[in-house]
Amino acid sequence: MNLLWGDAMYSVVLCDDDEIILEGLSEFIQQEIPDVCLAASASNGVTCKASLHEVKPDILITDIRLPDCLGFDLIECAYEVNENTSIIIISGYDDFKYAQKALKSGALGYISKPIDLDEFTSILNAAKEKCSQNKKNDLLNRRMFLSDILDFKLTDAGEINAKAHSLNLDQDILHAIVIAELDTDSFHFKQYGLHRQQQAFQDFSKTAEQYPSDNFFLLRHTMQQYVFLVHAPDRDALELKIRAYHSGVQACLKESSAAAVTITYGRFISSLSNLRQSYMEALAAMDYKFIIGTSECISYKDIRTLAAPAVSEPQNPGLLQMTDISINSRDQLNGQLFKLYHELISCGPDSRSYAQILLEQMAVSLSKEIQQYDIALTDIFSSPMTELESMLQAGSLNLMLNKFRSFYETVADFIEHQQHNKYAKTINNPIRYIQDNLSKPGLNVNDVARHIYLSPGYFSLIFKKQTGETFSDYLIRLRIDKARELIRQSNLRFFEISTMVGYENVSHFNVIFKKYTGLTPSQYRKQNT
């Protein structure tokens, strides 16, 4: 339950001059009544009044007649410190008229001595229900008040501070606006089917709203974005709570839908009159997730150096000439992309749109250039438009530039090897390398590509084109074929065979072997020996 400057428990002050009743009810409340905290107990009016001022309880339970005052005085005091206090009167038989008067003064109910615990429980539960409704109304009023600040409907500092005081909002602590946003603008997310997208939204909604502690107060939300007001006694505690929230939400979503969430927050403030400033800063930080990266926790201070000064267009028009990038300028690519990165950063929130324009033009330039070799992008990629969309819809600037680098290198490798007619050598060499290193557990496509000085993307492309199999399928088939040979021709134990064909875990080996042969290694040996 997320509360704002409040507690999920209902606080109670108990007052009775009969020590037996006082001790008995104190013990009963603490042991038998859930969601209730006995904040103070007193045997006289003076002590009780002091407790009321200190605790400002949700519920006051008091004897109508005390040695130093009447219960009416305590009722009046309780309403002064908390107008929503629920009052329960304890009265003797002779005090019935006083009890009736107390009810007219606003008391919720009364219970006669000797006290029936079932009756007492019933009245106390009714008080809890009234308190619950009061808390809901308070939260609604506080949410409306804070939303008016965010929406610029309340701007006067004096008015804001006065309203905050009337709503019992403590300003002697630090606050910050925190925004949690589901990352939906990446190609990765857009590839999700409708059902999976809906599941991601549901998981995000459930996690974003339920994970926070009582220090988080939900102000507003959409399917994609949640806005919280967070408070803590000091800067370190506030920072720690925000970072912990980000880590917790990320971990929960990773288990459920693999969706990513970006968290941003504005500066820490001590006065609610500055709340809108923190909100606007959190929104501004969210605009920079494309530059800094998705799935991050970004504060306004993280983007101050990036945000000043933001420009409406690239500062160096000469960089537009990069769209004429050549297939033969591989050694210049990293330098060009480095310059492009820093130029795009200067565009601030507009960096995504400029990056998309420039990189699309660069891809078009490559497509036109390779036509002189009688080659089209469709000869290189099974779906060039998918490759292009994946690049242009990347969730961050770094990822977008890295995808272009991979795109460029795949095209360059293809052209280079076409020119030198090295297809046969390109495939024969890695096959021998795979065969020689079959027992290596960590053997992967990066190792083989590196061995023949090709990019992994291009190597994977031509490997499948020449063999009709993906690298991973080919490697598994080769290992299982070798394992079958060893099972038929030797008495080696299965864990030894597993190691010899590159599987460190014999259980995993057994699963893969049965998947490809339909038999366990034991069954296969029985049938073939």
Q: In the CATH scheme, what is the homologous superfamily, with its name and number, of domain 423-528?
A: Homeodomain-like (1.10.10.60)
Q: Residue 425: which residues within 8 A CB-CB, separation 6 or more?
A: none
- pLDDT tens string, the chain, 529 residues long: the values are 344 545 558 999 999 999 999 999 999 999 999 989 999 999 999 999 999 999 989 999 998 888 888 777 898 899 888 888 999 988 875 666 666 666 666 778 788 888 899 999 999 999 999 988 888 888 888 889 999 999 989 889 889 888 888 787 766 789 999 999 988 776 667 666 777 788 778 888 888 877 666 688 889 888 889 999 998 888 999 999 999 888 888 887 776 666 778 999 999 998 899 999 999 999 988 888 888 877 889 998 888 766 544 444 445 555 555 566 788 778 888 888 888 888 888 777 788 888 888 888 888 888 888 888 778 888 888 888 888 888 888 878 888 898 899 999 898 888 877 765 555 556 677 888 888 899 998 899 998 888 877 888 888 888 887 788 999 999 999 999 999 999 999 999 999 999 999 998 999 999 999 999 999 999 999 998 7
**Which one of 2.60.40.10, 1.10.357.10, 3.30.70.260, 3.30.70.270 gives the CATH number of domain 171-307?**
3.30.70.270
Q: Judge whether 478 and 500 are in contact, CB under 8 Å.
A: no
CATH topology classification for 10-137: Rossmann fold (3.40.50)
- As a whole number of angstroms, the distance between CA 203 and CA 297 comes to 19
Output the pLDDT for position 8.
Answer: 58
Q: Judge whether 257 and 207 are in contact, CB under 8 Å.
A: no
Question: How many angstroms from the chain centroid is the CA of residue 130?
Answer: 35
- As a whole number of angstroms, the distance between CA 406 and CA 391 comes to 10
Output the pLDDT for position 309.
Answer: 47
Fold match flag (171-307 vs 423-528): no
The first and second tokens of residue 299, run together, are 């504060």
Provide the residue ranges of all domains of the chain, joining segments of one domain with +. 10-137, 171-307, 317-420, 423-528
Q: Judge whether 67 and 18 are in contact, CB under 8 Å.
A: no
Please count the CA atoms within 13 angstroms of the CA of 119 that sit on its side-chain side. Answer: 11
The reply to whether the predicted model has a pTM over 0.85 is no
DSSP 311-362: -SS-S-GGGGGGGG--TT-HHHHHHHHHHHHHHHHTTGGGHHHHHHHHHHHH
Output the pLDDT for position 320.
Answer: 59
Rama region for 252: left / alpha / beta (φ>0; ψ in -120 to 50; rest)? alpha
Output the pLDDT for position 311.
Answer: 44
